Amino acid sequence: MKVRYLVAVTVALSVSITAFAAEKPETLFVDGNCNNCHTIDNKTVGPTLVEVADKYRNDKDAQAKLEKKVRSGGSGSWGVMPMPGTRSSFSDENIKIVVTWILQQKAKPKEEPKSEKKTEPKAK
């Protein structure tokens, strides 16, 4: 009888943890150490997430390709610097969540420069 309760609690907790993680891909991005080389839109060691999303935007196989790349690592797609694979304790489900989030990234619209001209008050 106690085993059933333990199994039920374990299942409930694992579902709620997965649901929480699905809502926080940014947290998984940091937990997976992706932020060591990538940012959303500021170039660092690796390509920005916007650049990755733009490159794969029209590729129907992008999700699977990037999940494999994140898991195994590799080089050649963005230059000579190799990307290390993700540690084995980072689950395939977490990789799927992070890759889905990455592929949704879009460049922020640029702000219009403000006019330097001063407006003259209208005459009455």
Q: Write out pLDDT tens, residues 19-62.
A: 554 469 999 999 999 999 999 999 889 999 999 999 999 999 99
Domain-located, residue 29: yes
Domain-located, residue 28: yes
Confidence (pLDDT) at 16: 47
Short-list 46, 53, 58, CA closest to 98: 53
The reported pTM is 0.69
Domain-located, residue 124: no
Confidence (pLDDT) at 77: 86
Q: How many domains does the chain have?
A: 1
Confidence (pLDDT) at 82: 92
Average pLDDT over residues 5-25: 58
Identify the helix (H) or strand (E) that includes residue 12. helix 2-23
Identify the helix (H) or strand (E) that includes residue 11. helix 2-23
More confident residue, 41 or 8: 41
Residue range of the domain that includes 88? 2-75+83-103
Domain-located, residue 116: no
Q: What is the pLDDT of residues 50-108, one digit of tens each?
A: 999 999 999 999 999 999 999 999 888 888 889 999 999 999 999 999 999 999 999 87
Q: What CATH number does the domain containing 38 carry?
A: 1.10.760.10
Residue 7 pLDDT > 60: no
Domain-located, residue 17: yes
Short-list 105, 98, 38, 108, CA closest to 63: 98
Domain-located, residue 115: no
Confidence (pLDDT) at 109: 74
Domain-located, residue 119: no
Domain-located, residue 48: yes
CB 77 within 8 A of CB 11: no
